[in-house]
Each structure stands twice: as structure tokens, then as C-alpha cells.
Amino acid sequence: MMIFTKTELAEVVLIEPKVFGDQRGYFFESFNQKEFEEHIELKNFVQDNESKSTFGALRGLHFQKPPFAQAKLVRCIQGKILDVVVDVRKNSLTYGKYITVELSGENKKQLFIPRGFAHGFVTLSDEAVFAYKVDNWYAPEYDSGIIWNDPTLNIDWKIDKEKVIISSKDQQLSKFKDLETPFIY
């Protein structure tokens, strides 16, 4: 059994699994299609991805444009990350708003991020293993995103800016005010 909690961005859902532990270790269901459909919606996840990152590694804020937009189910398997989700759906009541959630191997929480939201995370532990399911194929020509240190969003990444490690690709992402979002609410 899992607990599904809507966040301040109503379509973004925090999922907490029931963990069974004893002297051998622990067991939990990390995904259950029936429960997922009862609480969120029918999704056909087509790909699982995993990344390993060192302290300060920041990935994001990413999304794919239609027709290759992606919903994601994300979790941190090992270590600790700060997960960030930004609503990029024009005309939505929460357009330009964001939430942050700490995901870790210890708390085993997951986050469902629908299409129309930018997503990123920063590693807060020495290293972290991050895994996610997506409901559409990766299409690099449809990649888009928002620069991590956007002045309009002013996200508190819970880490000194000098310690952030970011790819050259992510350093080229747009500012929020210049974003040409294809998502209309």
C-alpha cells in the first residue's frame, strides 16, 4: 500500500510506499500499476532511466516539448537529492510556481511529475543514484528547459551556488521569462 499526496502543484503527486523491515533489511513495492491508476491516472511507462551523481551535481530544469512531452515517476535509490518541479503550463493557476521535495534512499518517497512541468534535481549527499520512469521516448530535438539559477523563479537549491556542478548543455537553458512553452492549460 502506498500513500498518494497532492502537492501545491495539484497534478504533481508525492508517493510514499509502505516499507516492511526486519533484521534482514527491508521490502517495499516501488511501483504498483493498479494503485497508480486508482490515485493518479493510467500511464504507460515506456522507459526506465538511472543516473549516478556526485555532491553538487545539478541536472535540470528539463522538459520535452510535444509530441514527445514526458510524464515522470522519480525516486532516489541511494543518497539524497533535492527534487524541483516547475509548472510551465501557460494559463494554469500555478504557472511559474515550483515545489521542492527531498527524496532519498532512506525516505523512499517518489514524485509523479505530469507533462507540462519542468524537472530538475541537485545531489545533497556525497553521491546519489536517481531513477525514473517516463511515458514517452527521449527525443533530443524536443528538449527544452529553464536555467537552474533563473532570477524570476529564484529557487533555493539548498546548496551554495559555488558548489553546483552543471553540464555545459544545462548552462545554455533559457530564462523563465524567455521560455516559449508549448503547454497551455
Q: Which pLDDT tens digit goes with each residue over 30-46?
A: 999 999 999 998 789 99
pLDDT tens figures, 61-120: 999 999 999 999 999 999 999 999 999 999 999 999 999 999 999 999 999 999 999 999
Return the active site residues: 62, 132
pTM for the complete prediction? 0.94
Q: How high is the pLDDT of residue 185?
A: 79
Structure confidence at residue 148 (pLDDT): 98
- Residue 71: closest CA among 90, 43, 99: 43
DSSP state of 174: B
Q: What is the mean pLDDT of residues 154-161?
A: 97
Q: Residue 183 — pLDDT band, cuts 50, 70, 90? A: confident
Domain 43-178 annotated CATH 2.60.120.10: yes
The reported pLDDT for the residue numbered 83 is 98
pLDDT category of residue 180 using cuts at 50, 70 and 90:
confident
- With the CA atoms of 150, 154, 157 and 162 taken in that order, what torsion angle do they form, in degrees rounded to the nearest 10? 60
pLDDT computed for residue 92 by the predictor: 94
Answer with the residue of higher pLDDT: 25 or 181.
Answer: 25
pLDDT for the residue numbered 107: 97
Q: How confident is the model at residue 182 (pLDDT cuts 50, 70, 90)?
A: confident
For the chain, give every domain's residue range: 43-178
User: How many residues are there in the chain?
Assistant: 185
Find residue 102's DSSP bridge partners: 82
Distance (Å, whole) CA 180 – CA 88: 9
DSSP letter at 42? -
- The DSSP letter of residue 159 is S
Give the pLDDT of residue 184.
81
Can you tell me the mean pLDDT for 162-173? 97
